Amino acid sequence: MIIADIEIGRLSLGQRMPAIRKFSKMYDVSNTTAINCYQHLQGLGWLQAKPQSGYFVTQPFGKDKRPEFPQFISKISQPKSTAQIKAALNSPFYISLISPELIPIEALNRCTRQGNIRNQHLSHLYPEYQGQESLRKVLSQHFSEHYFPLAANKLVITNGCIDAVKTAIEVTTQPGDTIAISSPCFNGLIELLANLKRSVIEIPCCDSQLDLNQLEQHLKNKTIKACLFSSNHINPQGICFSAQQKQQLATLAKQYQTPIIEDDIYLELSHGTTNPLPIKHWDKSGWVLWCGSISKTISPSYRLGWCEPGRFFDRYLTDRSVQTFGVNQSVQNTLFEFIYSGQYSKHLRKLKLKLNQNVRDYHNLLSQFLPKQARISTPQGGLALWVQVPKLNSQVLLNDANKDQIYFRVGNEFSTLALYKDCLRINIGWSISATDEACEEARRYQQLIRLCELIKRQLNDVT
């Protein structure tokens, strides 16, 4: 009924919905039923929740204007490192991060003090190679409650997710080996593989589906030694593999005895109310090495992540003991207190609501100001928005935008092949606003409008 009212215009876009108590009285239902109704409509894209404001009418993202991804025959290629633009490191659109105002810094500072007091008896020691036991237990409890069973004694604490992935690559492959990745793939993983002197085979990913036929053929031919995939809110598309695909990937790993390194850094940043599951959930034989961190949910400055390396646990821990002397004890203390006190779950609830609002604000702006042929991703979670504009040269666009101090990631950074030249990735972790012209949100809003103008100008020059 509510959907019908929105479609016929009885409820207008942006209109505030009745408060929960009022809604429950209007339709003679319990408050719990009213909340479930609003959350279900939010998940379908018909309502948008704004913190401390309520629920507002919106509409699902258009399905006909999503980016198109090429089909191609996968082959071995050599990844290359791409130099970052130093001036862009503090740009809101360039690096996939949440804005400073979304970091619960006061709560984290309290947890640092409390955690250091609680563990002051450890202050003179090197941290445990595997990671602080109390932290591993509270992480185990958190993921077991919200996602999938996770044993504390199988977790290894690392210096962020990229560090966890790096160790996973080193214990499963050798320099010169070939690793399968999805296409497009997060540029940071491509750069990591280049630095570790691994070759890659890109597997096409179209319509949220990995080309498992090509992947299995490479597994049969033994051309790959490992796979490196994200499966939830993938950077840069923001999509999730289906549960069926995740299960199939776990089955293929077991069947061909080929490890899958799963970079699941965006798992907890769903824009809706449904929590996805990782490939690891279906791994019963230990061939999946599951990696994550708090870099996207809290802050990358803490440099704390983890890995559940499955059957590679002993080798993984040995590698960590040789190459590192553990992870900063104070940071481990902080995260333990933050999760144990319940503040992490509370923070995630607020953060996901804010990201849901951000992605819609960005999508609405870009849909309004980009050329009609532009295609914009409809991410299910994460921090990335993927934009495709046919005939665009995103590298030329970046050079022009840099003059206005506007930075983003060009599409071809997400592939080792000559692909995605007409695409760009924008971070949506920072709020934008068209209201108060003096605020930073309004400045970012104007920067995006300027970016759209530059895109139109380039296309006009081409034609």
The dihedrals phi and psi of 425, each to the nearest 5 degrees, come to: -115, 135
Alpha-carbon gap, residue 303 to 370, rounded angstroms: 37
Considering the chain, what is the average pLDDT of its residues?
91
pLDDT tens for each residue of 401-411: 999 999 999 99
Residue 452, SS3 per DSSP = helix
pLDDT of amino acid 43: 66
Domain 76-87+100-343 class, CATH top level: alpha beta
Check whether 62 has a pLDDT greater than 70.
Answer: no
Alpha-carbon gap, residue 365 to 181, rounded angstroms: 32
Cis peptide before 390 (omega within 30 of 0): no
Check whether 213 has a pLDDT greater than 80.
Answer: yes
Q: Hey, what are 119's tokens?
A: 């563990």
Q: Report the candidate in 94, 101, 59 with the shortest Cα–Cα distance to residue 360.
A: 59
User: Does domain 1-60 correspond to CATH entry 3.40.50.300?
Assistant: no
**Alpha helix ranges (H) inside 300-342:** 313-323, 329-340
Distance set, CA 218 to CA 53, 175, 189, 228 (Å): 52, 19, 20, 14
The dihedrals phi and psi of 449, each to the nearest 5 degrees, come to: -65, -40
pLDDT tens for each residue of 288-307: 999 999 999 999 999 999 99
Cβ atoms of residues 413 and 105 within 8 Å: no
The dihedrals phi and psi of 397, each to the nearest 5 degrees, come to: -60, -45
Q: What angle do CA 336, 338, 343 make, to 5 degrees?
A: 145
Per-residue pLDDT averaged across 210-235, rounded? 97
Torsion, Cα of 206, 62, 91, 461 (10° steps)? 90
Residue 210, SS3 per DSSP = strand
Which one-letter DSSP state was computed for residue 91?
Answer: -
pLDDT of amino acid 14: 72
Q: Judge if 1-60 and 76-87+100-343 fold alike in CATH terms.
A: no
Helices 133-146/343-369 angle, 10° precision:
60
The dihedrals phi and psi of 88, each to the nearest 5 degrees, come to: -90, -10
pLDDT tens for each residue of 37-49: 877 777 667 777 7
pLDDT tens for each residue of 128-163: 999 999 999 999 999 999 999 999 999 999 999 999
Q: Hey, what are 375's tokens?
A: 């295609």
Torsion, Cα of 359, 364, 369, 375 (10° steps)? 70
Residue 55, SS3 per DSSP = strand
Question: What are the residue ranges spanned by the domains of the chain?
Answer: 1-60, 76-87+100-343
Per-residue pLDDT averaged across 439-458, rounded? 95
Q: What pTM was estimated for this model as a whole?
A: 0.89
pLDDT band at 435 (very low <50, low <70, confident <90, very high): confident
Burial class (CB in 10 A: 0-12, 13-18, 19+), 48: buried
Residue in this structure with the two tokens 């666009």, named with its chain if needed: 397
- Residue 32 pairs in a beta bridge with none
